[in-house]
Amino acid sequence: MGGKTFGVEARRLDSTQHAALFRYVQNQLSPFTPFGLRTTRSPADKTTHGDLDVMIGSYANGPGFKYQFAGVASEYANISHIDYAKWCRMASTVDYQWTEQELKDWIRDVARALGAVVWQKHRIGAIFAVPCRVIGDLSLEAGRNEVSPLLIHRYMRC
């Protein structure tokens, strides 16, 4: 993906910032799954990153995964809370068959937890544009509102 999914070049993060972004994502998304999160490994000589690939553990599958859709932050502005227990229970149920609406709601809640400004669901993954400001006071020059996209896949537990 390289950080170009939403039609604008994402801010490239150095390895320290990239690790901070993963810690932030881990903290925000761990309540969604009893199985944890994984990220792909980067080559040792890679010094900047345009995106972060994260996989969320789940037994879930179903017809909802075939749909493609997109969303924006205003879709979660009026949501009072995220039902983490519900999502965790569904993810840990062997062969739970997600509907399209459940998947849309889950992705909306993941977007809300991440503070994403826009997202897209395609194939087996979802992509979220998250403002760089979520990683705090690391040395991001100007552009704290620039985004660093995350590619989030659900992976099956065997």
pLDDT digits (tens, 9 = 90+) for 96-143: 888 889 988 988 999 899 888 888 887 778 888 887 777 765 554 444
What structural domains and CATH numbers belong to the chain?
13-156 (3.30.460)
Please give the pLDDT value at position 142.
Answer: 43
Output the CA–CA distances (angstroms, integers) from residue 25 to 52, 63, 98, 99, 142, in the order listed.
10, 27, 23, 25, 22
pLDDT over threshold 80, residue 7: no
Predicted model pTM: 0.81
What is the share, in percent, of the chain residues with pLDDT greater than 90?
5
Please give the pLDDT value at position 146.
Answer: 58
β-strands 69-72, 118-122 pairing? antiparallel
Q: For 9-51, what is each residue's pLDDT tens digit?
A: 667 788 888 888 888 888 888 888 888 888 777 777 788 887 7
Please give the pLDDT value at position 109.
Answer: 92
